[in-house]
Amino acid sequence: MSVQRDSQLDMFAKPSPATARARAPSRRPPSQTAGHSDEEMARTLEESGNYRILRKLTARPIATARRPGFSRLGVILDTETTGLNHRSDEIIEIGAVAFTFDDDGGIGDIVGIYGGLQQPSRPIPAEITRLTGITDAMVEGQVIDMRSLSALIEPADLIIAHNAGFDRPFCEAFSTIFAGKAWACSVSEIDWSARGFEGTKLGYLVGQAGYFHDGHRAVDDCHALLEILDRVQGDGESPFAELYRASQRSRIRIFAEHSPFEMKDHLKARGYRWSDGSDGRLKSWWIEVGEDDLGDELSYLRSDIYRWRDADPPTVRLTAFDRFKL
Q: Are residues 237 and 262 in the same domain?
A: no
Choosing from 204, 226, 248, the residue where a domain stops is 248
Choosing from 197, 231, 248, the residue where a domain stops is 248
Strand partners, 72: 101
Closest C-alpha among 184, 215, 207, 209 to residue 195: 209
The tens digit of pLDDT for each residue in 234-278 reads 778 999 999 999 999 999 999 999 999 999 999 999 999 999 988
Q: Which pLDDT value is given to residue 266?
A: 97
Choosing from 248, 283, 308, the residue where a domain stops is 248
Cα(238)–Cα(65) distance, integer angstroms: 24
Q: Which pLDDT value is given to residue 75?
A: 98
From residue 247, how far is each of 114, 189, 228, 262 by CA, in Å?
A: 24, 8, 18, 35
Q: Are residues 99 and 144 in the same domain?
A: yes
DSSP string spanning 96-148? Answer: EEEEEE-TT--EEEEEEEEEEE---SSPPPHHHHHHH---HHHHTT----HHH
- SS3 state of residue 191: coil
Q: Does residue 38 form part of some domain?
A: no
- SS3 state of residue 285: strand
Cα(73)–Cα(158) distance, integer angstroms: 7
Q: Which pLDDT value is given to residue 35?
A: 56
Q: Are residues 292 and 229 in the same domain?
A: no
Q: Are residues 118 and 208 in the same domain?
A: yes
The residue ranges of the chain whose pLDDT is under 70 are: 1-35, 215-216, 326
Q: Which pLDDT value is given to residue 39?
A: 85
CATH of the domain at 242: 3.30.420.10
Report the number of distinct structural domains present in the chain. 2
How many residues would you count in the chain? 326
Kindly report the CA angle at 165 between 160 and 171, in degrees rounded to 5? 70
pTM of the model: 0.82
Q: Are residues 278 and 153 in the same domain?
A: no
Q: Are residues 204 and 275 in the same domain?
A: no
Q: Are residues 130 and 184 in the same domain?
A: yes
Q: Which pLDDT value is given to residue 10?
A: 40
Q: Are residues 171 and 301 in the same domain?
A: no
Residues in CB range of 43: below 8 A, 6 or more apart:
none
Q: Does residue 262 form part of some domain?
A: yes
Phi/psi of residue 101, nearest 5 degrees: -155, 165
Amino acid in the structure at residue 259: S
Q: Does residue 54 form part of some domain?
A: no
Q: Are residues 152 and 229 in the same domain?
A: yes
Cα(16)–Cα(262) distance, integer angstroms: 89
Residue-range definition of the domain harbouring residue 278: 251-318
Q: Which pLDDT value is given to residue 325?
A: 86
